Structure 1
Amino acid sequence: MKKLTIKLSILAIATAFITSCNPFEIDEIQDPNNPSVGSVSNNASKEQIQFLITGLESRHRGYVSNVTRAWGTFGREIWNLNASDPRNQTDWLGQNGRVPDRSYFGFGNTGGGSWATPYQAIKQADVLIVAGENTENITTASKSAAVGFAKTIQGYQFMIPANWVYSNGIRVDVKDALNPGPFVSYTAALDAIKVILDEGDQALQAAGSGDFPFTLTSGFDNFKTLGKLRQINRAISARLNAYRKDWSGVLTALDGSFMELNGDLNAGPTHPYGAAPDVFNPIYYLPNAPVNSIIVVHPSMLDDATPNDKRVAEKFFKRDEPVLVTTDAGSLVGQYQDGRWKSNTDPIPYIRNEELILLKAEAHAQLDQSTEAIQAINIIRNAAGIGSYTGSSSKEALIDEILYQRRYSLWAEPWGHRWIDARRYDRLNEIDTSYDKGTIFTEFPHPQAELSWDEYKGD
């Protein structure tokens, strides 16, 4: 694992992208000890393919810090308190009339980690696909395995920019860095992502049924066979199909996923972290540390909680001394911090069995299959110690219940589920802004740097 960690860190540096002008272009690598793009494009060695796979794992986690903080703030799951840079409060909370623009804090010119980083992972995957397809140094099955892995990660990563800009649309065709394709609508983008994920699943299936022929980090513990990787692909597809409102498609994808109704709710792949030369868990904070820059639980999460909910007790750590940050719109007080992590090297899950069970509940509710929906809801409720559901079996009531359970089951996971959930159900106006007097954003415009690239390309 130490050797892999070193390789992962080297690849993260060695395959750096040019993000200041064109987020879709990859540097020509000058390090003679690591593969350049040119060298891996034609008859790459198995070791070079391995480097690209490990580097893709590193790219795959690059979004975590900024997306967790920003989207969690937009959905008022958290406040990202930061006394040294008030924009974490004033801009992200939309205080005093602030609205997203093309250079918004944490996104546009000041937030490459939010917009460019997913595309960097997508392009890293493109390099892996080309390398895998154009080499005679690995078997046909291994080629399919590499392509399937790459497209699975691509599908996940494309959903990040798609949900940032929403109706403004994203580029999906970015294979040619000097001539990327046009922006397509949110709906068209989701449909294109489905094709990518389906192609990834088909490639993994074509690779056979044994072990994945390359080495993966501990983030894929329990998922290192081709069949298990297909389960991750299908789990991601289930999330995507919920956004597409393809409820039968959700259930079909879940049937091929790692969902287990009576299984560990925390089961699923993770983003691993570690000490140098790796990086630490970016959202871990020492309990009760005397800081004024920290992720805290939004007060409404406590206000709206069901009494004796185990999720509240397990996830929310009450500090001895609250964190206070003063903004130009008033003071924000954080009494609870994130209590999920035992150390700064804990892995972060990015899709879990608990989410899949809730997706099953949602799909059944949308299909007017209330009995199946309630069965899935009760698995979550009973695990949380709050007893079985006793409310109405109408679709509207069940969706209310599912969205409520998602708030607590998926709190502050590296996706910002509540913000996206509220938007896809036209409930952004239900998010509580009374504590910060802010605004709930619907979407962001394209960053100025990307539009400037179109102008540059046209010259």
Structure 2
Amino acid sequence: MNSIGAAALAATTLWACNPLQIDEVIDPNNPAVEVVLEDASREAVQFLITGLEARHRAYVFNVTTSWGTFGREIWYLNGSDPRFQTDWLGQGGRQPDRAYFGFGATGGGSWAAPYQAINQAEVLAGAATNASILNDRERASARGFARTIQGFQFMIPANFVFENGIRIDVADPFNPGPFVSYEEALDHAKSLLDQGFTDLEAAGAGPFPFRLTRGFDGFNTIAGLQQINRAIAARLNAYRKDWNGVLTALEGSFINMNGDMQVGPTHPYGAAPDLFNPLFFVLDAAINTLTVVHPSVLRDTTAGDLRVRQKFFPRTNPVIITTDAAPLTGTHQDQRWPTNETSVPFIRNEELILLKAEAHANLGQAGPAIEAINVIRAAAGIGEYTGASSTEALIDEILYQRRYSLWAEPWGHRWIDTRRYDRMEEIDTSFDGGSVFRQFPHPQAELNWDLYVEGQ
């Protein structure tokens, strides 16, 4: 969305005419959006679904590396561009402004990319609704998938700018609505997820009538997509502090207290013409650009924690990057991705069990909260919980377990977790001499768009 605004302003400067009055460009290989929305073919709807899966993963690299850095889960060390260290860590008093490093090509995943996915989903929903060749079940299925992805994607910019608010009325990219509060944004995401669930329910039982990639293996049925929808709703309801809503959503999700922690939908990657996994780095390679484990994460581990052995690879030679505030030394790197085609999960059973524990704890239900905590601890090989049963003590324990279970997943969990519990002072900046950001302003291009519209 902001790229549209930037392009409009550039055209104004260069040609001194209305940038929205452009010559029609006909793509000989793809139908125009207007044609697809009017009466799409089955193949066109399938293309939109596959394209939406691709858009759905565009946030992964930026959100993982930048939000992970903000929460000091990782450092993304970059020997070529020091701003990945100085700016993202807030060294030298740096604070995010409207032209902050990361809003551009590398930062699109936190702002522009989610809106691109949201708009792609809107086209899919409209095309499916108007496609005469589809039956009612197929229309409802496609809409349900589109709304589910929209609900997920709206949470990304909402958590990025937080109290500064986001636009939720973006169906017409040339006439977007006003910014709304964080709470309103989350409520909107909930309404989309609920709408998506209702659409999927209307589609009935059986397989999803369109092709999905291997990222949805095990969930490529109507019931499976409903489970994903409810899993996302559980995460969302935790941000909304609707603890009963978390538990209700989990009942319809794929949570399995006795199941594999890794089960869940993923973002697939592959060789050209697809994209390689952007989080993959060769283990122990002689390079100075890679993701490393933050020293505080290594310091605070529990003895014998299997997650440490499974996720953190000790390098033979540490990576050292000199900055203007402090040298950064990475002794361990991420080893979760064995190849550059390994899929990346976007929500897993382990997170759902932790959400169950968190909801019960906040409702004062210590028994089921501890039961869920012990499922996580057993999987990590660290024995049962023996601490106090007060809400505060249980939240301490849950946030600690989330720190290691959800470490550096493509969401920035710790950055968000410390903010929603007013614990951002717990993020350790002593190793890098930086500061912790609470939220980000809107990109300059977003405001430029409003200025352009006001001037017409």
Fold conserved between structures, TM > 0.5: yes
Structure 1 unpaired stretches of 5+:
1-16
**CA offsets 1:176-220 (integer angstroms, 9 cap, x no match):** 111111100001110111001000000000011111000000000
Cα distance change on mapping 1:147 and 1:407 into 2, 3 Å: same
Secondary structure (helix, strand or coil) at the match of 1:41 reads helix
Counterpart among 374, 377, 384 of residue 381 in structure 1? 377
**CA offsets 1:258-296 (integer angstroms, 9 cap, x no match):** 001001100000000000110100010000110001100
Structure 1 segment 75-114 matched on structure 2, within 5 A = 75-107=71-103, 111-114=107-110
Cα distance change on mapping 1:270 and 1:29 into 2, 3 Å: farther
Kept in 2: contact 1:370–1:394 (CA 8 A) = yes
Cα distance change on mapping 1:22 and 1:378 into 2, 3 Å: farther
Q: Does 1:415 align with 2:373?
A: no
Secondary structure (helix, strand or coil) at the match of 2:160 reads helix
1-side partners of 2:400 and 2:107: how far apart?
30
Q: Which residue is equivalent to 2:321?
A: 325
Letter in 2 for 1:121: A
Q: Does 1:20 align with 2:6?
A: yes
Aligned CA-pair RMSD: 1.6
Identity of aligned residues (%): 66
Q: Which residue is equivalent to 1:341?
A: 337
- Number of residue equivalences: 442
Q: Which residue is equivalent to 1:211?
A: 207
Counterpart among 181, 184, 187 of residue 183 in structure 2? 187
1-side partners of 2:129 and 2:251: how far apart?
30
Kept in 2: contact 1:21–1:449 (CA 8 A) = no
Q: Which residue is equivalent to 2:159?
A: 163
Letter in 2 for 1:323: V
1-side partners of 2:338 and 2:382: how far apart?
25
Kept in 2: contact 1:102–1:108 (CA 8 A) = no
Counterpart among 49, 53, 60 of residue 45 in structure 2? 49
1-side partners of 2:26 and 2:364: how far apart?
58
Moved more, 194-203 or 28-37: 28-37
2-side partners of 1:311 and 1:232: how far apart?
24
Cα distance change on mapping 1:352 and 1:258 into 2, 3 Å: same
Kept in 1: contact 2:79–2:288 (CA 8 A) = yes
Kept in 2: contact 1:109–1:448 (CA 8 A) = no
Secondary structure (helix, strand or coil) at the match of 1:320 reads strand
Cα distance change on mapping 1:185 and 1:214 into 2, 3 Å: same
Structure 1 segment 12-411 matched on structure 2, within 5 A = 18=4, 20-21=6-7, 30-107=26-103, 111-411=107-407
Letter in 1 for 2:126: V
Secondary structure (helix, strand or coil) at the match of 2:39 reads coil
Secondary structure (helix, strand or coil) at the match of 1:327 reads coil
Structure 2 unpaired stretches of 5+:
10-19
**CA offsets 1:299-336 (integer angstroms, 9 cap, x no match):** 00110000010000000000000001000112000000
Q: Which residue is equivalent to 2:12?
A: none
2-side partners of 1:175 and 1:33: how far apart?
25
2-side partners of 1:365 and 1:391: how far apart?
13
1-side partners of 2:138 and 2:106: how far apart?
40
- Report the alpha carbon displacement of residue 22 of structure 1 after superposing the two structures with TM: 6.9
Letter in 2 for 1:417: H
1-side partners of 2:147 and 2:42: how far apart?
19
Q: Which residue is equivalent to 2:437?
A: 441
